[in-house]
Amino acid sequence: MTMPRAISGNELPGKDGVLTVTNLQKRFLLGRAGIFGRGSESYVHAVDDVSFSLGRGEVLALVGESGCGKSTLALTLLGLEKPTRGSIRFEGNEISEYSSAQMKNVRRHMQMIFQDPYESLNPLMSIGEIVMEPLKVHKLGGSRAEQETRVVRALEDAGLKPADRYLKRLPHELSGGQRQRVVIAGALVLEPTLLLADEPVSMLDVSIRAEILNLLAELRDTRGISILFITHDLGTVGALADRVAVMYLGRIVEIGPTMAVLTNPQHPYTKALLSVVPVPNPRLRHKRLILSGETPDPINLPTGCRFHPRCPLAVDACRKTDPPLHPAGAGQEVACILVE
Ligand code: SF4
């Protein structure tokens, strides 16, 4: 695990924040109980009362097991899912009620990088055409020559240098890491202020992962891009993220500066995730904490703290009290009744 760059205290974004999410909820209606559908409605609680903010040029890692709601959160931010309730402010504008046409405009500035570079690229288009496509869709970039200049810059900023060597090639001629760089170039060509990177390295060979994480860190530093880095692997956040938010069953259960969360986790779930991250130095290893049972059903949420069925520290009160996030540790906020 790479250790994070130093960050002092709870370096939360100020008024210059790019994104502020407040009490965001996304539920999916499953249906009604009863033979004639007159019973109570049942929902999948995918994202439940999530609040966080993201500063300009900041990287926030959103970490949790698959199914915890982190990808649904990203799709809701992009407007590909309608929020059930809550506020999403992007660049000072409330976008949670925007129409599809308005969201298309927002997506010029908020770009998604998906997990699978093999699925994300049209196999019949050349690399130059793929990176040019977003400019055509959004009718941006001026003349054809100006558009080509932007394509070359995006490819080279994504580490495909010289760009001439890649423009005419097809996706299958590139390695997995190069394809993910093409996906990133396709986002960069629109000059976004925010990247939503959903598991951007999980499909890549281990040897390539560090290169892509370094590239994202470089884009944060050189272009001032904010990044919401979504991952199931706490071991990948140290080199890139300024802050970490840990999600469990649709909720953020711990958020704080990366150094504090990785070296002094407060929530039992964060401790469990961290305890299974491989560490080269045996003296720095945390005691393994294997959680019992499966993640509860997001349709029938447990009462009280939703982590209590798996929590090794649970007491009776945990079944009755649903703890909100409160300040704890070095700039962290934690949702646990046992953490002062
Ligand atoms: Fe565990 Fe209770 Fe804390 Fe929830 S509130 S994390 S069940 S100790």
- In the prediction, which pLDDT does 330 show? 82
What is the 318 CA–ligand 1 centroid distance (Å)?
Answer: 6
What is the best residue among 251, 271, 338 to mutate for testing ligand 1's pocket, by most ligand atoms within 8 Å of CB? 338
Does ligand 1 come within 6 angstroms of the Cβ of 317?
A: no
Token pair for 242: 């300024």
The predicted structure's pLDDT at residue 282: 64
* pLDDT tens, residue by residue, 7-35: 333 334 444 689 999 999 999 988 776 66
Residues β-bridged to residue 25 = 85
CATH number at residue 27: 3.40.50.300
More confident residue, 248 or 285: 248
Residue with more model confidence, 184 or 3: 184
CA dihedral 313, 321, 264, 257 (to 10 degrees): 160
The Cα 163–Cα 127 span in angstroms is 10
Residue 293 lies in a domain: no
In a domain, 328, yes or no: no
Picking from 320, 267, 324, the residue whose alpha carbon sits closest to that of residue 48 is: 324
- What average pLDDT does range 200-224 have in this prediction? 89
Output phi, psi for 247, to 5 deg.
-110, 140
Instruction: Sort 271 into a burial class: Cβ within 10 Å, 0-12 / 13-18 / 19+.
Output: middle
Q: How far is the CA of 170 from the centre of ligand 1 (A)?
A: 51
pTM of the predicted model, to two decimals? 0.89
Beta bridge pairs of residue 308: none
In a domain, 157, yes or no: yes
Ligand 1 center to 293 CA (angstroms) = 15
Residue with CA nearest ligand 1 atom 7: 308
Position 201 in a domain: yes
- Which residue minimizes the CA distance to atom 8 of ligand 1? 314
Residues in the chain: 340
Bridge partners for 50 per DSSP: 24
> How does residue 204 score in pLDDT terms, banded at 50, 70 and 90?
confident
Indicate whether residue 307 lines ligand 1 (CB < 6 A): yes
Q: Which domain holds residue 91?
A: 18-265
CB 198 within 8 A of CB 115: yes
pLDDT digits (tens, 9 = 90+) for 248-260: 999 999 999 999 9
**For ligand 1, atom 3: residue with the closest CA:** 336
Taking a C-beta distance cutoff of 8 angstroms, is the pair 79, 21 a contact? no
To test the ligand 1 pocket, which listed residue (254, 311, 319) has its Cβ within 8 A of the most ligand atoms?
A: 311
Question: Does the CA dihedral 190-196-198-204 come out positive or negative?
Answer: positive
For residues 83-109, one letter each, b for 16 or more C-beta atoms within 10 angstroms of the residue's C-beta and e for the rest, the string is: bbebebbbeeeebbebeeeeeeebbee
Nearest atom within ligand 1 for CA of residue 306? 4
> How far apart are alpha carbons 340 and 332 in whole angstroms?
11
CA 267 to ligand 1: nearest atom: 6
- Residue whose C-alpha is closest to residue 155's, from 179, 121, 119, 120: 179
Note whether residue 73 is domain-resident: yes
Of residues 142 and 99, more confidence is placed in: 99
Please write the tens of the pLDDT for every residue from 47-93: 999 999 999 999 999 999 888 899 999 999 999 999 999 999 999 99
The pLDDT confidence band at residue 244, using thresholds 50, 70 and 90, is very high
Q: What are phi and psi of 269, to 5 degrees?
A: -70, -40
| Cβ(140) – ligand 1 distance below 6 Å | no
**For residue 33, what pLDDT is reported?**
66
CA of residue 289 to ligand 1 center, whole Å: 15
Question: Nearest to residue 63, comparing CAs of 264, 261, 310, 305?
Answer: 261
Number of domains in the chain: 1
Output the CA 338–ligand 1 centroid distance in Å. Answer: 7
How many alpha carbons lie under 13 Å from residue 168 in its C-beta half-sphere? 2
Q: Is 315 within a domain?
A: no
| Residue 206 banded pLDDT, cuts 50, 70, 90 | confident
Condensed to tens digits (0 to 9), the pLDDT of residues 286-321 reads 667 777 777 778 888 889 999 999 999 999 999 999
User: Minimal CA–CA distance to 234: which of 223, 247, 225?
Assistant: 247
Q: Which atom belonging to ligand 1 lies closest to the Cα atom of 311? A: 1
Burial class, 47, CB count within 10 angstroms (exposed 0-12 / middle 13-18 / buried 19+) = buried
DSSP 207-234: HHHHHHHHHHHHHHHHH--EEEEEES-G
Closest-CA residue, ligand 1 atom 5, reads 336
Q: Does residue 184 lie in a domain region?
A: yes
Is the distance from the beta carbon of residue 335 to the nearest atom of ligand 1 less than 6 Å? no
7-11, 18-22, 119-123, 272-276: range with lowest mean pLDDT: 7-11
- Is 22 a member of any domain? yes
Determine if ligand 1 sits within 6 Å of the CB of residue 323: yes
